[in-house]
Structure 1
Amino acid sequence: MNKLENQSGIAPSFIYTYAWHEDEQLLCQLEMRSFFGVDTHTNVLESSIAIDPSRSPFMKERLEVIFSGESLQEILKQVENINMNDSTFKVTCINDNDLETTKKLRLTDRRRIEREIGMVIEGEPDFEQPDHDFGILTLNGHWYFGKYRKSDAVWYRHIKKPRSYSIALSTRVARAVANIAVPNPHGVKAIDPCCGIGTVLVEALSMGIDIVGRDINPLVTTGSRENIAHFGLVGEVTLGPISDVSTNYDVAIIDLPYNIYSHTTSDQQLSILKHARRFAKKVVIITIETIDDMINEAGFEIVDRCVAKKGSFSRQIIVCD
């Protein structure tokens, strides 16, 4: 196959499509800012940064742009240069939903566009298991063609874990929190020192994040290990208080014990945060209460935040340095 590059000669552009429930929009936008440094109020985001769409519970797909033009005919002329040699391919038209100002295309129109593109590519199509997936997209009056990657909703399979309890984070929130804490896993060491049954650990480990767990409750550490093993993952979970953590980490994820569900006092919560300040450069805090004064007292600076809702129940996700 000929090498396919962005025709501008610069780093390729990526177009991501999104879907979220209205209660999740703020959380989705915080995850966007963590990945890309910007967010959007629409369901499309364009960036030069490559993120596997399967990492996010909100991303639907990613198009790595190779060709662009003002019309489908311009795209067809450019696509003529593709020679698949012995490789197979598939073309997917992404316009199956409204995207920004562009209305979705009818199924018949999408299939026609896919056929037109496929007819000019020199190679063998395979609709089941192609060697290469291509995407075609019209957006705000422009056309884009490139390498296509659809999200695999890994987090959805993690809902059915052997151990759970009602106040644990949902897998969607846990996955977003792991991304907010560690947008780029390369060389990053993370810890969840109040890991509970390991919802965040499972999501983080499934994305290749180097993370360890810890909790003071032997029942939940056992449940956390069972959940991790159930999904074929490998991760360390130790038993003990946060005060005994002696290793330094790049980031800590702390889902603070809730006063209405536990016997943890405000002083104990402050102690947790002060210990986190001791061993972590960055902390992502999950809390049901406003604790800005406590965070400041522990020595952290709040750099970003959002509210994640589920009906009438709200959690604050707070990013601190």
Structure 2
Amino acid sequence: MEFVGDEDRFAALEAGVAAAGIERIAPGVAVADAVDPGRVRGLAYTRRALDLLGRADADPNSARAVVEAASVDREGTVAVRARVVRDSAAVSTSEVERECGSALVARGFDVDLDDPDHTLRVLFAGDTCLVGWTVAESVRDFSTRRPTDRPFFQPGSMAPMDARAYANLAGAGPGARVLDPMCGTGGVLIEAGLVGSDVVGNDAQAKMVRGARENLAHYLDDTDVECDLLRGDATALALRDDAVDGVVFDAPYGRQSKIARHSLDDLVGDALAEAARVAPRGVLVADRSWREAAVDAGWRVTDAFERRVHRSLVRHVHVLERS
């Protein structure tokens, strides 16, 4: 598996919704025991998954030796694509493509660089070379859903790529139902819906509910997912116990809550308790750690990340399971 960005631990955790037995072996790459190609398409921080032919030293001759020795059960045209991950190896990718391509031609394959039936990927990461056939690639269309391009926009909206990753960590996917109890403009719900989840949004402000409804209609009307939006208090949700499979929300960032009767500490703590009532797993994103509040609310914090957005904002990501 080939990761995006430079936060491999975070990428590997998200990739766990599409693969089992993930092991990071070099910067930007990991191996796994099993991969669901359909779920790979919906990942944010994984670029693609390969059917691994072999591992070798990071040089063109070793890569060619893997191709020559591997059992190949594919038919049709091929292309070879080589890449150095994060500039971590001094290798000529054009030389690698020539060497591995000639090895495939010697085995009877025809090369088609424009529209091949199969693509052989050769990845170099540090002193490691991985050779494999591409079996799935994630859909990298996040720029088409920039917050400023949505029908309804408010400053502070989360980037779609991050929203997708958090939704995946909260259990989004076909057959799941995902809740955002502070949904704002609906960015997390859009990304959860696009990977097949039914979605439920809640917000204290009527204008946010109206705006989120407009955004969800724009991006999800052509899908089969169900979208429900409610105006209400995140600390007293109009949902039954265990109503959803996962919950994900972006807590207020050091600002006055729009629910005047709550302090920020009470708002987040009580919202966490409500989330634990309606879902077995969740993700909380905030501008500081809420680990103690999450534990007090009935959660176990299974993973935590500090992810820099810009110089003045670091997002604290809490991955939660009901204790």
Measured against the shorter chain, the TM-score band is 0.7 to 0.9
Work out whether residues 92 and 135 of structure 1, in 8 Å CA contact, stay in contact via their aligned partners in 2: yes
Alignment partner, residue 314 of structure 1: 314
Alignment partner, residue 245 of structure 1: 239
Alignment partner, residue 180 of structure 2: 192
Work out whether residues 135 and 148 of structure 1, in 8 Å CA contact, stay in contact via their aligned partners in 2: no
Offset, 1:175: 1.4
Offset, 1:200: 0.8
Offset, 1:37: 6.3
Please state if 1:46 is matched with 2:31.
Answer: yes
Structure 2 vs 1, CA of residues 49 and 280 (structure 1 numbering), >3 Å: closer, same or farther?
A: same
Q: Which amino acid aligns with 2:4?
A: A
Q: Counterparts in 2 of 1:85-100, with a 5 A limit?
A: 88-97=76-85
**Structure 2 SS opposite 1:94:** strand
How far, CA to CA, are the matches of 1:108 and 1:292 in structure 2?
48
Q: Counterparts in 2 of 1:58-73, with a 5 A limit?
A: 58-66=45-53, 71=62, 72-73=64-65
**Structure 2 SS opposite 1:226:** helix
How far, CA to CA, are the matches of 2:102 and 2:251 in structure 1?
55
Q: Counterparts in 2 of 1:1-321, with a 5 A limit?
A: 16-21=1-6, 27-28=10-11, 30-32=13-15, 40=24, 42-52=27-37, 53-66=40-53, 71=62, 72-78=64-70, 82=73, 84=75, 88-97=76-85, 103=89, 105-137=91-123, 140=127, 144-159=131-146, 160-182=149-171, 185=173, 187-231=175-219, 232-233=222-223, 234-241=225-232, 242=234, 243-246=237-240, 248-260=243-255, 262-264=257-259, 265=263, 266-311=265-310, 312-321=312-321
Q: Structure 2: which 5+ residue stretches go unaligned?
A: none
How far, CA to CA, are the matches of 1:31 and 1:224 in structure 2?
25
CA RMSD of aligned residues (A): 3.1
Structure 2 vs 1, CA of residues 215 and 112 (structure 1 numbering), >3 Å: closer, same or farther?
A: same
How far, CA to CA, are the matches of 1:78 and 1:38 in structure 2?
23
Structure scoring higher RCO (CA < 8 A, sep ≥ 6) equals 1
Q: Where in structure 1 do 4 or more consecutive aligned residues deviate above 6 Å?
A: none
Offset, 1:205: 1.5
Structure 2 vs 1, CA of residues 166 and 26 (structure 1 numbering), >3 Å: closer, same or farther?
A: farther
How far, CA to CA, are the matches of 1:39 and 1:167 in structure 2?
35
Work out whether residues 30 and 305 of structure 1, in 8 Å CA contact, stay in contact via their aligned partners in 2: no
TM-score (norm 2): 0.77
CA offset digits 1:32-68 (Å, max 9, x no partner): 5666565647211111131544433322322112466
Q: Structure 1: which 5+ residue stretches go unaligned?
A: 1-15
- Equivalences, count: 297
Structure 2 vs 1, CA of residues 113 and 37 (structure 1 numbering), >3 Å: closer, same or farther?
A: same
How far, CA to CA, are the matches of 2:268 and 2:74 in structure 1?
61
How far, CA to CA, are the matches of 1:63 and 1:132 in structure 2?
11
How far, CA to CA, are the matches of 2:14 and 2:189 in structure 1?
17
Matched-pair identity in %: 21
How far, CA to CA, are the matches of 2:230 and 2:49 in structure 1?
40
**Structure 2 SS opposite 1:93:** strand
Structure 2 vs 1, CA of residues 263 and 132 (structure 1 numbering), >3 Å: closer, same or farther?
A: same
TM-score (norm 1): 0.78
